[in-house]
Amino acid sequence: MTTTIPDSEALRRASLRYLWMHNRDWTQMAEEGEPQIIESGHGVRVTDSEGKSWIDVNGGYNSVNAGYGRTEIGEAAYEQMVNLHYFPQGTTTVPMAKLAAKLAEITPGTLSRVFPVSGGSEANETALKIARAYHKRIGEPGRYKVISRVGSYHGMTAGVLWLGGSPYQPRHDYEPIYPGIVHAPQPNAYRSTCGGETPSECAVKCAEAIERLIEFHGPQTVAAVIAEPVAIPQGAVVPSDEYWPMLRQICDKYGVLLIADEVICGFGRTGKMFALEHWDVVPDIMTVAKGVVSSYLPMAAAIVKEEVADVFAGERNILRHVFTAAGHPVAAAASLKNIEIIENEDLVENSAQVGAYFKEQLEGLAIDHPLVGDVRGIGLLLAVELVSDRDTKAGFAADARVPERLNDKFKRQGLIFRINSNILNMGPPLCITKEEVDEIVHAIDISLWELEGEMGISRMT
Q: Say how many residues make up the chain.
A: 461
pLDDT of residue 3: 57
pLDDT of residue 29: 85
Nearest to 222 by CA among 161, 153, 154, 134: 134
- pLDDT tens digits for range 101-116: 999 999 999 999 999 9
Contact 433, 354 (CB under 8 A): yes
Query: How far apart (Å, rounded) are the C-alpha atoms in residues 186 and 152?
Result: 8
3-class secondary structure, 317: helix
> Domain end: 311, 344, 377, which one?
344
Report in angstroms the alpha-carbon separations of 119 from 38, 116, 263.
22, 9, 9
- pLDDT tens digits for range 235-278: 999 999 999 999 999 999 999 999 999 999 999 999 999 999 99
pLDDT-derived band at 459 (thresholds 50, 70, 90) equals low
**Residues above pLDDT 90, as percent of the chain:** 84
Query: How far apart (Å, rounded) are the C-alpha atoms in residues 443 and 425?
Result: 15
3-class secondary structure, 137: helix
Query: How far apart (Å, rounded) are the C-alpha atoms in residues 120 and 116?
Result: 11
pLDDT of residue 176: 86
pLDDT-derived band at 286 (thresholds 50, 70, 90) equals very high
Q: Do residues 179 and 189 both lie within one domain? A: yes
> Domain end: 325, 344, 363, which one?
344
Q: Is residue 223 part of a domain?
A: yes
Nearest to 326 by CA among 26, 119, 169: 119
Rounded to a whole number of angstroms, the distance between the first and last alpha carbons of the chain is 51
Q: Is residue 293 part of a domain?
A: yes
CA atoms within 13 A on the CB side of 168: 15
pLDDT-derived band at 4 (thresholds 50, 70, 90) equals low
363-401 as b/e, with b when 16 or more CB fall inside 10 Å? Answer: eebbeebbbbbbbbbbbbbbbbbbbbeeeeeebbeeeee
* Cα dihedral: 331, 294, 61, 181 (round 10): 60
Q: Do residues 379 and 321 both lie within one domain? A: no
Contact 297, 330 (CB under 8 A): yes
- Return mean pLDDT, the chain: 94
Q: Do residues 318 and 440 both lie within one domain? A: no
Q: Is residue 447 part of a domain?
A: yes
pTM over 0.85: yes
213: domain CATH number?
3.40.640.10
Q: Is residue 183 part of a domain?
A: yes
Q: Do residues 140 and 276 both lie within one domain? A: yes
3-class secondary structure, 158: coil
pLDDT of residue 28: 86
Residues contacting 169, CB < 8 A, separation 6+: 153, 233
52-91 as b/e, with b when 16 or more CB fall inside 10 Å? Answer: eebbbbbbbebbbbbbbebeebeebbeebeeeeeeeeeee
Q: How many CB atoms lie within 10 A of CB 444?
A: 25
- Tally DSSP H helices, then E strands, for the chain: 12, 14
pLDDT of residue 168: 64
pLDDT at residue 461 greater than cutoff 60 = no
Query: How far apart (Å, rounded) are the C-alpha atoms in residues 17 and 89?
Result: 39
Q: Do residues 81 and 223 both lie within one domain? A: yes
Q: Is 345 exposed, middle or buried (0-12, 13-18, 19+ CB in 10 A)?
A: middle
Peptide bond preceding 429 in cis form (omega within 30 of 0):
no
> Domain end: 324, 344, 364, which one?
344
Q: Is residue 394 part of a domain?
A: yes
3-class secondary structure, 272: coil
441: domain CATH number?
3.90.1150.10
3-class secondary structure, 223: strand
Query: How far apart (Å, rounded) are the C-alpha atoms in residues 389 and 349?
Result: 36
Contact 311, 72 (CB under 8 A): no
pLDDT-derived band at 159 (thresholds 50, 70, 90) equals confident
Q: Do residues 75 and 162 both lie within one domain? A: yes
Q: Do residues 197 and 231 both lie within one domain? A: yes
Nearest to 152 by CA among 143, 162, 144: 162
Please give the residue range of the domain that contains residue 247. 71-344
Q: Do residues 204 and 316 both lie within one domain? A: yes
**How many structural domains compose the chain?**
2
- pLDDT tens digits for range 314-336: 888 899 999 999 999 999 999 99
Q: Do residues 132 and 52 both lie within one domain? A: no
Query: How far apart (Å, rounded) are the C-alpha atoms in residues 209 and 400?
Result: 36
**Which of 12-16, 283-287, 342-346, 350-354 has the lowest average pLDDT?**
12-16
Q: Do residues 269 and 412 both lie within one domain? A: no
Q: Do residues 167 and 285 both lie within one domain? A: yes
**CA-based radius of gyration for the chain:** 22
